[in-house]
Amino acid sequence: MSDSPFAGPPRSPQHKQCFECGAVLNLVDKSCWMCHAEQPLLGKLISATPIPPPMTANPWAKNGVIWLGIVVAVIVCYGVLRAGDYVLASVFLVFAVPTLAIVMLGSAVSRAAGRPWGTGTKVGVAAGTMLTTVIVCIVAAAVSVLVLFAMFIAMIQDCFRMLGGN
């Protein structure tokens, strides 16, 4: 609505205001007499506005929780690296980096699309990413063991072939 000098508040329940110029209209008018803008039906005028959850109402709280998660991940990563166990550090990085990347990128994309993820969705995506990472690591380990076993068998065959003198 604009602040037009001709626009006043609706005088009675039989009137409504134009959404473009603010002119007073009858309830049955389909277009404005002043600016000729198409007017929505009365049923479309009455709609419940969704109440935002408290987390979206306060952007400082949401940003604080995000930064707290990032700081905790950095502190844990630093502690793992300071422990001197590079196997543990590698396992942590293999699980943490894809999980953080997928959750942060997916959340940003869905927020930009107008469908922000809730906490449950983020936890579910993180758990699914970790489970997928575990499965990929197990499959990669199994394939590497099978490749090493095949190389060992091939080496044994070559050794027996050399001994046979063929």
- List, for residues 101-136, the tens digit of each pLDDT value: 888 888 888 888 888 888 888 888 988 998 998 899
Does residue 35 contact residue 18 with C-beta atoms inside 8 Å? yes
Helix/strand/coil (H/E/C) assignment for every residue in 32-92: CCCCCCECCCHHHHCCCCCCCCHHHHCHHHHHHHHHHHHHHHHHHHHHHHHCCCHHHHHHH
- CA dist 9 and 22 (Å) reads 9
Share above pLDDT 90 across residues of the chain, in percent, rounded to a whole number: 16
pLDDT of residue 150: 96
- Segment (H or E) for 17: strand 15-17
94 vs 156, residue with greater confidence: 156
15 vs 105, residue with greater confidence: 105
Residue 14 pLDDT greater than 50, yes or no: yes
pLDDT of residue 1: 46
pTM (2 decimals)?
0.47
**Token output for 112:** 């930009």
The predicted-structure confidence for 49-64, as pLDDT tens digits, reads as follows 666 665 556 677 777 8
**Which residues lie below 8 Å from residue 1, measured CB to CB, with a gap of 6+?**
7, 17, 18, 19, 22
137 vs 51, residue with greater confidence: 137
